[in-house]
Structure 1
Amino acid sequence: MIFEVWAPKATAVEVDVPNGRRPMSPGERGWWWAEVAEAGHGTRYAFVVDGDGPYPDPRSRRQPEGVFGPSAVYEHARFTWSDHEWKGRDLRGSVIYELHVGTFTGEGTFAAAAERLEHLVELCVDFVEIMPVAPVPGGRNWGYDGVDLYAVNETYGGPDGLKSFVDACHRAGIGVILDVVYNHLGPSGNFLRPFGPYFSGFAGSYWGEAVNLDGPGSDEVRRYFIGNAVQWLRDYHIDGLRLDAVHALHDKRARHLLAELSEEVDVLACSLGRPLTLIAESDLNDPRMVRPLEAGGLGMSAQWNDDVHHALHTAVSGESHGYYEDFADPSALVKVLTQGVLHDGGHSGFRGRTHGQPFTGVPGHRLIACLQNHDQIGNRPGGDRLPMSALKLGAGLLLTSPFTPMLFMGEEWGARTPFLFFSDHVEPALRESEGVRREREFDGFGYTWDAPDPSEEEAFLRSKLDWSELKEEENWSLLCWYRDLIALRKALPELSDPRLDRVRVEADPDGKWLIMWRGTVCVSVNFSPETLTLPPAGATVLLASDDPVASGPDGLRLPGQALAICRTIP
């Protein structure tokens, strides 16, 4: 077997295998190699650079002893797939379900998550989006502290566990999107620095040092991340990637990393014969993110849309602190439902400056919208979720909107378990200061910060879903509402129509009601506690969140905090 590693500044590199260290030979462009005949699948190894180490392989496919242990040879071809009939899934018209493997089930493994796929099939979602699975320090983490980016967290089931989960999803007709982090690496167990110029030398974001995408030696660094993306899509049969916080990718080259990645993924999709999806998390409100490469864009299939979340959250919760202050006026929800974003070049009070550009001509399916996600729940001190009354109204609007809707695990039944921020750093300094760092990150958001210590195991255990809640009538009723909404969305072409210029919305200036027209389908929402009579008159009620809902010549009589979907006569 041949071992390879990129270490352009090294004068000597050795590979450390069970039978001792072997010298490696320098090759082209800073690469070193060595042949070890007796090595094979499962062999533990590490690298020694100019006498320092041993360090894990930067492209380690497996870390069986965790981030501080040696790497292990992993041969992808040894896994037997059964998804040969899988032809992929298009993002258009789809519903996404986000989950965290460690808290989705009590066991917190890929195998246990696969056992719950029947629930997702009955819910009728099209993709599951799993939070990052790269190895992290300790036994619990959201995943954004990942290192060894080519490997898979062993506590979840390692590389074979992930493949088995993807295989099971495909057999169930569900695509898989993987959340990946390329804007920084975790603060613990990161051994890339001894090998080469992987970092730029300045703080790229609140979360860590910027990766080197445009400085000396950055050609191979870019290939490191693009190769990682290709690995998930090719070797793990993943259907798409969600790229974390791309606004924290510092790249001043004429051709941005995202454009280069998009082109590579398009080529791979042609080779594999199935669609591949790239979803950016971007705080820029820049439509170039989702414009095709040939139109001068960065070529992302879609991007997360915080503006829709913020407008929905404010409408159903009444909160207006922090970044919600810009969305307090009812007109904000009208604007995002018809134009995609609120911040399209105007002033943002929260930011204290103008922000964004118009998304004119961008189809709604390129904007991923949600009522809840891991950030918007987990970034609250108590990790608290929206109450059921808010979920009913919010889900009704989300799942009839022109965007690609995304749910967060447990939302569909009104899970009462929180989703807290948790970690398990092994270094005492990181462990003891984690809570302080977290509080500082959200300074000025208007929260009274009384969050539990994220390093305590209790924060992790409390975040696990309680599936027994489904036995309770109130939770089961909400689940049926979500199922019915998704079924109606898939049955009526008007509801999945992504053309924003076809959406008409009117709302009460005081925020008591909102009416959204999707062709001949009308969504009427009563946010107030009193019964209201709203348009349309004489329509056929297709679905309602509460009874009784009466449709007559004067309009639709809606009880307080209720939503109805009607069909009108063309």
Structure 2
Amino acid sequence: MLFEVWAPQAQQVEILIDDRTRHSLGPDPARAGWWRADLPAAHGTRYAYLLDGGPPLPDPRSRRQPDGPDGASAVVDHDAFDWTVPWPGRALPGAVVYELHVGTFTPEGTFDAAIGKLPHLARLGITHIELMPVCPFPGTNGWGYEGVSLWAVHEPYGGPEAMKRFVDAAHQHCLGVVLDVVHNHLGPSGNHLPPFGPYFTDRHHTPWGDAVNLDAPGSDEVRDFLIGSALSWLRDYRLDGLRLDAVHALVDTRALHFLEELSTAVDGLSAALGRPLFLIAESDLNDPRTTAPREAGGLGLHAQWSDDFHHALHAAVTGEAQGYYADFAAAGPAAVAKTLTGGFFHDGSWSSFRGRHHGRPLDRRAVPAHRLLGYAQTHDQIGNRATGDRLTADQLTVAAALVLTSPFTPMLFMGEEWGAGTPWQFFTDHDDPELGAAITRGRRREFATHGWAEEDVPDPQAHATRDRSCLDWAEPDKAGHRDLLDWYRGLIALRRAEPALTDPQLDTVAATAGGRTLRLARGPIRTVVNFSDAPARVPLDVPCEVLLARPSCKVLPGPDPAVQLPARGAAVLRAREAAGATVNG
């Protein structure tokens, strides 16, 4: 097997095999700064690198860390896995995405345990599972955003083999799989990249410290390291796409931006494999160039999360107006209408939270609507609340109607579909007691400034915090939860049955807000919602028949047709003169 490592500042590089034998690596004559040696090794062989006689270090491109981020690496033969399902891929247009955290999706917190819940997801009607990050991080429990081995799988989840079993099982249910990857920083503990080379630079800074080196000396190799990792996930684990965490924190001053280079490489791999692949950005910039085609001067990413849609919807269903919700709450349901028709709320408008103008308009005629992901809840928007509280069933009734009939690619957060009563809280499991204590203090201080008593903020380091965040799989069969689950299933089935609901043309969408109500029009389909705690009459532009409603509603006929909605009610209707499939809920 050929062992290779980039260590441009080292004078000597050795490899320790199975903690017994040492071998020297020689400089690669074809690549400056690279070292190599061809040595006998099989699947599972443990190894570590020693730089200039220093301590054993894991391979920066390790495919497996059996003993955690600080231990030796292990050889993984990706060709040895016996895939059972030929997978043609599943593209993003028409998708319904389900965000899932392996460690709390089941009490066991493993890929193998999650396989047992795939029939539930298939019956729900989703098309893609979006896994939160799975790279190794310190300890057992965590969100995954402090991963440190960007080519490997967290061992407590089951490691590489278990992840492949999960993906293969998902494919048996015709479900695609997307992975959340973090390129903008590494965790504060277990990061062994700096001894190998200039993976980070102090030219730029991020909320997590020095930035990843995308434009300083040595950045060619760092970019190749990140792109190679991305391609490996898509190729070796047969994934359909990647979600890129906080791309606004990827500081790059080079003429060819890293994200453009990455999207070019992914499109090339897609062509080589003969199946669709896609990249979804998390971006705070509200910049249409993020998903604009490269030939049009964009970065070429295929989609991005729409936090503006979330913020507008959250403010409307909860009435919250603190922090970044302020502008959305002030606009009321009109903010929801604006995002439904224009994608961004802040499209060059004043942002009171930022104290400046923010964003840029999308071209409604040119941007396919599926390039924006719309959602009512995500790991961020639940877990970064003081107690990790979720939306209530009444709030989800209204929110789901708009998410699942919106022009965007809908995304759900695990357990949302039945109104999970379990919170989803911020939790960590750092081995370093000082680091763990500092995170706990920082978390509690942060929320104390918002009026929370420190003792009421869960301790991220407490195992009970993770345990509270695990889904309760007895809930979907209970009254109330079961009814909400039927609502979600009905909405997803309707989305699949009605072509108008997957029409990519954003400029054909109309939304009208009035008081605390909203009407969304997409072809012959009308979605009407009542955000208020009192019954409300919602005018219709055409006579309609009800397809789905929760709770039941009354259509008011006459020259001025309308719908009488109960408090926190929602309904989906079809214009009477329009033909098409009917889905009963």
Normalising to structure 1: TM-score of the pair? Answer: 0.97
Structure 1 residue runs without a partner (length 5+): none
Letter in 1 for 2:343: G
Q: List per-residue Cα deviations over 1:528-561 (Å, max 9, x = no partner).
A: 2332232226421111111243442242222221
1:271 maps to 272
Give secondary structure in 1 for the equivalent of 2:32.
helix
Give secondary structure in 2 for the equivalent of 1:33.
strand
2:583 maps to none
Letter in 2 for 1:75: D
1:412 maps to 417
1:526 maps to 530
Letter in 1 for 2:345: L
Note the C-alpha offset of 1:36. Answer: 2.2
Letter in 2 for 1:10: A
1:128-167 map, 5 Å: 128-167=129-168
Give distance in 2, aligned partners of 1:441 and 1:72: 40
Give distance in 1, aligned partners of 2:225 and 2:231: 10
**In 2 relative to 1, CA 276–441 (structure 1 residues): closer, same or farther, beyond 3 Å?**
farther
1:75 maps to 77
Give distance in 1, aligned partners of 2:231 and 2:248: 21
1:323-342 map, 5 Å: 323-328=324-329, 329-330=331-332, 331-342=334-345
1:298 maps to 299
Note the C-alpha offset of 1:437. Answer: 2.9
Give distance in 2, aligned partners of 1:10 and 1:442: 45
**In 2 relative to 1, CA 11–441 (structure 1 residues): closer, same or farther, beyond 3 Å?**
farther
1:6 maps to 6
Contact 1:321 1:445 in 2 (8 A): no
Which of these residues, 411, 427, 443, is aligned with residue 438 of structure 1?
A: 443
Give distance in 2, aligned partners of 1:83 and 1:180: 25
Contact 1:302 1:368 in 2 (8 A): yes
Letter in 2 for 1:389: D
Give distance in 2, aligned partners of 1:567 and 1:42: 58
Letter in 1 for 2:520: M
Letter in 2 for 1:144: Y
Letter in 1 for 2:338: K
Give secondary structure in 2 for the equivalent of 1:399.
helix
1:519-558 map, 5 Å: 519-536=523-540, 538-553=543-558, 554-558=561-565
1:107-126 map, 5 Å: 107-126=108-127
1:42 maps to 44
Contact 2:553 2:571 in 1 (8 A): no
Q: List per-residue Cα deviations over 1:364-389 (Å, max 9, x = no partner).
A: 10001100000000000100000100
Deviates most, 533-542 or 308-317: 533-542
1:463-474 map, 5 Å: 463-474=469-480
Letter in 2 for 1:251: D
2:214 maps to 213
Contact 1:549 1:559 in 2 (8 A): no
Note the C-alpha offset of 1:447. Answer: 6.0
Give distance in 1, aligned partners of 2:322 and 2:310: 14
Deviates most, 518-527 or 146-155: 518-527
Give distance in 2, aligned partners of 1:487 and 1:395: 13
Contact 1:316 1:394 in 2 (8 A): yes
1:485 maps to 491
Give distance in 2, aligned partners of 1:288 and 1:2: 40
Give distance in 2, aligned partners of 1:533 and 1:310: 25
- Percent of paired sites with the same residue: 55
Q: Is 1:453 equivalent to 2:459 in the alignment?
A: yes
2:581 maps to none
1:313 maps to 314
Q: List per-residue Cα deviations over 1:32-74 (Å, max 9, x = no partner).
A: 012223x221111100101112100000111111111111111
Give secondary structure in 2 for the equivalent of 1:15.
strand
1:62 maps to 64
Note the C-alpha offset of 1:506. Answer: 1.2
Contact 2:125 2:492 in 1 (8 A): yes
Which of these residues, 552, 555, 569, is aligned with residue 562 of structure 1?
A: 569
Letter in 2 for 1:353: R
2:36 maps to 33
1:224-263 map, 5 Å: 224-263=225-264
1:373-392 map, 5 Å: 373-392=378-397
Normalising to structure 2: TM-score of the pair? Answer: 0.94
**In 2 relative to 1, CA 350–446 (structure 1 residues): closer, same or farther, beyond 3 Å?**
farther
Give distance in 2, aligned partners of 1:305 and 1:519: 23
1:369 maps to 374
Note the C-alpha offset of 1:432. Answer: 0.7
**In 2 relative to 1, CA 238–366 (structure 1 residues): closer, same or farther, beyond 3 Å?**
same
**In 2 relative to 1, CA 82–445 (structure 1 residues): closer, same or farther, beyond 3 Å?**
farther
Contact 2:91 2:240 in 1 (8 A): no
Q: Is 1:515 equivalent to 2:519 in the alignment?
A: yes
Aligned length: 566
Note the C-alpha offset of 1:440. Answer: 5.6
Give secondary structure in 1 for the equivalent of 2:284.
coil
Letter in 2 for 1:487: A
1:418-433 map, 5 Å: 418-433=423-438
Letter in 2 for 1:11: Q
Contact 1:186 1:208 in 2 (8 A): no
Contact 2:545 2:555 in 1 (8 A): no
Give distance in 1, aligned partners of 2:503 and 2:316: 23
Q: List per-residue Cα deviations over 1:366-424 (Å, max 9, x = no partner).
A: 00110000000000010000010000000001111100110000000000101000011
**In 2 relative to 1, CA 565–447 (structure 1 residues): closer, same or farther, beyond 3 Å?**
farther
Deviates most, 353-362 or 156-165: 353-362
Letter in 2 for 1:525: V
Q: Is 1:352 equivalent to 2:358 in the alignment?
A: no
Q: List per-residue Cα deviations over 1:88-112 (Å, max 9, x = no partner).
A: 1111111000000000011111111
Structure 2 residue runs without a partner (length 5+): 579-585
Give secondary structure in 1 for the equivalent of 2:98.
strand
Q: List per-residue Cα deviations over 1:430-452 (Å, max 9, x = no partner).
A: 11111233346668667666321
Give secondary structure in 1 for the equivalent of 2:440.
helix
Give secondary structure in 2 for the equivalent of 1:54.
coil
Letter in 2 for 1:160: E
Contact 2:69 2:148 in 1 (8 A): yes
Q: List per-residue Cα deviations over 1:334-354 (Å, max 9, x = no partner).
A: 111110011111110011001
Give distance in 2, aligned partners of 1:341 and 1:448: 35
Give distance in 1, aligned partners of 2:448 and 2:177: 35
Note the C-alpha offset of 1:77. Answer: 1.1
Give distance in 1, aligned partners of 2:447 and 2:247: 20
**In 2 relative to 1, CA 448–336 (structure 1 residues): closer, same or farther, beyond 3 Å?**
farther
Contact 2:447 2:457 in 1 (8 A): no
Give distance in 1, aligned partners of 2:546 and 2:316: 23
Give distance in 1, aligned partners of 2:296 and 2:25: 46
